[in-house]
């Protein structure tokens, strides 16, 4: 679904009259994503802080929402998610609130905002659309991503790949990783929370002895496909995007079980100001149109009931991710200190 077609489609959908009855009643009866046709028009001023991500696809979503709602004055401040998080907290300490909404590309930043007491509660009918395990009262997940092990299909057989992430520290496999990349650091944070600091430090030391570093996780997946390493650590969508453009690519996905190696993380949005407008804006991100677009174009996992996962990804129900409150990923500083101490940063 190309950008123009998506924008025009979402705008055209808005021309249909809203469904009868209250919005809350409509949501209460829904067991899958709703259409933009059922949403009220957005009117008024909103300022959104937007963490950079997904190669401009989030911008396409915002353009479509603005075209569908000509009376919405949406101002956007763009920046790195971590930097915007620090800005929001600093502004709050100074007695200033400039953002009404914060769309973050990772839950670590969301956790910092909620822990600071800056998030507004969201209507229960909004979160009830989300799949089990992704329902939070103070923020809304938007789309998900799974930690995976992309592997070179010519160098490695699936039977050679352990389903325990900790076992890779002592394996003979050549591994690609991106220690400076935010997604990798969130993954290490999850490992530290789940396994403890000593076990995580030992794991980092073990992997570093047979790892090749890349600037980012797309680079990791490309290195795997070229045969520079046997496998790597990366979010699932980098592999799916590569294979979409190169169907015969020598790369596939393996998954660990019940550990940080198959953590399901997500992007999320927080309402920072009260009122119906911020909450109703969030409703647009959870519609069938937006969720399907981000699934088909960004290969992210829709977290609203009834929307198909991206093509090429195994069913989410077949994955065994660890159970943990994703907001715990906000505790990043000990992770960075540990990675520096070990010498991988």
- Whether 22 and 94 map to the same domain: the answer is yes
54 with 135, same domain: the answer is yes
* Residues 136 and 225 placed together within one structural domain of the fold: no
pLDDT in tens, 145-201: 999 999 999 999 999 999 999 999 999 999 999 999 888 999 999 999 999 999 999
Q: Assign residue 22 the CATH number of its domain.
A: 3.40.190.10
Q: Residue 72's beta-bridge partner residues?
A: 44
Whether the per-residue pLDDT at 46 is higher than 50: the answer is: yes
- The answer on 213 and 335 residing in a single domain is yes
Q: What local confidence, expressed as pLDDT, does residue 326 receive?
A: 85
Spell out the alpha helix ranges (H) of the chain: 3-13, 23-28, 57-68, 81-93, 107-115, 124-127, 182-195, 197-208, 217-226, 236-245, 276-285, 288-297, 333-342
CA atoms within 13 A on the CB side of 35: 13
For 100, the token pair is 């009404």
Q: What is the mean pLDDT of residues 4-31?
A: 44
Give the separation between CA 292 and CA 302, rounded to whole angstroms.
7
What pLDDT, in 10s, does the model give residues 222-243? 999 999 999 999 999 999 999 9
Evaluate if residue 28 carries a pLDDT over 80: no
Same-domain status, 97 and 177? no
Comparing 2 with 17, the larger pLDDT belongs to 2
pLDDT computed for residue 125 by the predictor = 87
User: What pLDDT digit, counting tens, does each position of 128-152 carry?
Assistant: 899 888 899 899 999 999 999 999 9
Q: Per-residue pLDDT tens for 206-225?
A: 999 999 999 999 999 999 99
Same domain, residue pair 20 and 83: yes
Residue 293 has pLDDT above 60, yes or no: yes
What is the arithmetic mean of pLDDT over 317-344? 91
For residues 121 and 85, membership in a common domain is answered with yes
In percent, the amount of the chain with pLDDT more than 70 equals: 90
Same domain, 68 and 216: no
Cβ neighbours of residue 95 under 8 Å, at least 6 residues apart? none
Judgement on whether residues 259 and 270 belong to the same structural domain of the protein: no
Q: What average pLDDT does the segment 303-313 reach?
A: 91
CA-to-CA distance for 203 and 191, rounded, in angstroms?
10
Q: Give the pLDDT of residue 9.
A: 57
Is 217 in the same domain as 164?
A: yes
pLDDT over 80 at 55, yes or no:
no
Residue 186 CB neighbour total at 10 angstroms: 24
Residue 169 shares a structural domain with residue 254: yes
Answer yes or no: is pLDDT of 88 > 50.
Answer: yes
- 93-136 confidence digits (pLDDT tens): 999 999 999 999 888 889 889 999 999 999 988 888 998 888 99
- pLDDT reported for residue 19: 31
Closest CA to 200 of 255, 254, 253, 259: 259
Shared domain check, 301 and 220: no
Supply the range of the domain harboring residue 131. 3-144+266-313
- Is pLDDT above 50 for 30? no
Q: Could you give the CA distance from residue 54 to residue 38 in angstroms, rounded to a whole number?
A: 27
Number of domains in the chain: 2
């Amino acid at each position: 679904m190309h950008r123009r077609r998506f924008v025009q489609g979402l705008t055209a959908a808005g021309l249909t009259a809203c469904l009868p009855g209250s919005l809350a009643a409509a949501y209460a009866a829904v067991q899958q994503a709703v259409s933009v046709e059922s949403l009220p028009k957005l009117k008024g001023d909103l300022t959104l802080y937007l963490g950079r991500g997904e190669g401009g696809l989030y911008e396409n979503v915002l353009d479509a929402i603005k075209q569908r709602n000509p009376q919405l004055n949406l101002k956007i401040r763009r920046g790195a998610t971590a930097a915007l998080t620090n800005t929001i907290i600093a502004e709050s300490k100074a007695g200033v609130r400039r953002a009404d909404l914060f769309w973050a590309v990772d839950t670590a930043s969301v956790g910092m905002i909620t822990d600071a007491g800056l998030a507004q509660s969201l209507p229960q009918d909004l979160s009830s659309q989300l799949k089990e395990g992704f329902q939070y009262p103070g923020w809304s997940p938007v789309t998900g991503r799974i930690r995976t092990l992309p592997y070179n299909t010519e160098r490695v057989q699936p039977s050679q790949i352990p389903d325990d992430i900790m076992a890779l520290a002592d394996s003979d496999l050549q591994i690609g990783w991106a220690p400076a990349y935010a997604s990798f650091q969130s993954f290490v944070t999850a490992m530290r929370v789940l396994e403890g600091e000593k076990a995580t430090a030992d794991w980092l030391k073990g992997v570093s002895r047979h790892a090749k570093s890349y600037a980012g996780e797309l680079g990791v997946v490309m290195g795997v496909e070229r045969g520079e390493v046997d496998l790597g650590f990366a979010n699932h969508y980098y592999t799916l995007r590569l294979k979409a453009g190169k169907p015969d690519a020598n790369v596939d996905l393996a998954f660990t079980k019940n550990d940080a190696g198959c953590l399901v993380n997500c992007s999320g949005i927080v309402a920072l100001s009260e009122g119906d407008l911020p909450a109703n804006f969030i409703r647009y991100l959870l519609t069938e149109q937006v969720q399907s677009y981000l699934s088909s174009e960004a290969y992210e996992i829709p977290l609203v009931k009834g929307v198909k996962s991206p093509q090429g990804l195994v069913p989410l129900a077949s994955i065994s991710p660890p159970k943990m409150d994703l907001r715990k990923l906000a505790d990043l500083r000990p992770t960075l200190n540990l990675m520096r101490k070990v010498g991988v940063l």
